[in-house]
Amino acid sequence: MSEILPGPVCHSCGMLIMKQDEFGSEANHVMNTSYCKYCYWKGQFTEPDLTREQMIEKLAEAMKLGKNISDEEAKQMAWERMRLLKRWKDK
C-alpha cells in the first residue's frame, strides 16, 4: 500500500501549498494543482533538465536547515519524500 501525502503538495519539490496563488499554471493560465509555481509555470517546469539527484541535493539542503542531521540522513529523507511525487515516481 502506498503512502498518502497530506495535500495539496507540489509533486515536484514536495512543498506544502498553503495558498491558491502558490499553485503552478498551464500555458493558458489555468491553475495546475499538481505543482507549485516555483517548479511549474506557464505549462512547463521551471527547471526542465533538473535530475532526480539534483532535486535530492536541493531538498536535502532545505531539510537540514534548523536540524542537526547529517548530509546522508537529509538525502535519505529527501528521497523518501520524493519517491511519492509524480515527477520522480518512475525515475
pLDDT in tens, the chain (91 residues): 345 555 699 999 999 998 999 999 999 999 999 999 999 999 999 999 999 999 999 999 988 887 889 999 999 999 998 988 999 987 7
- Per the CB < 8 A criterion, the answer to whether 23 and 17 are in contact is yes
Among 6, 26, 28, smallest CA distance to 17 is for 6
- So what's the pLDDT on residue 11? 95
Q: How many CB atoms lie within 10 A of CB 85?
A: 19
- So what's the pLDDT on residue 7? 65
Angle at 83 between CA 90 and CA 89, to 5 degrees: 20
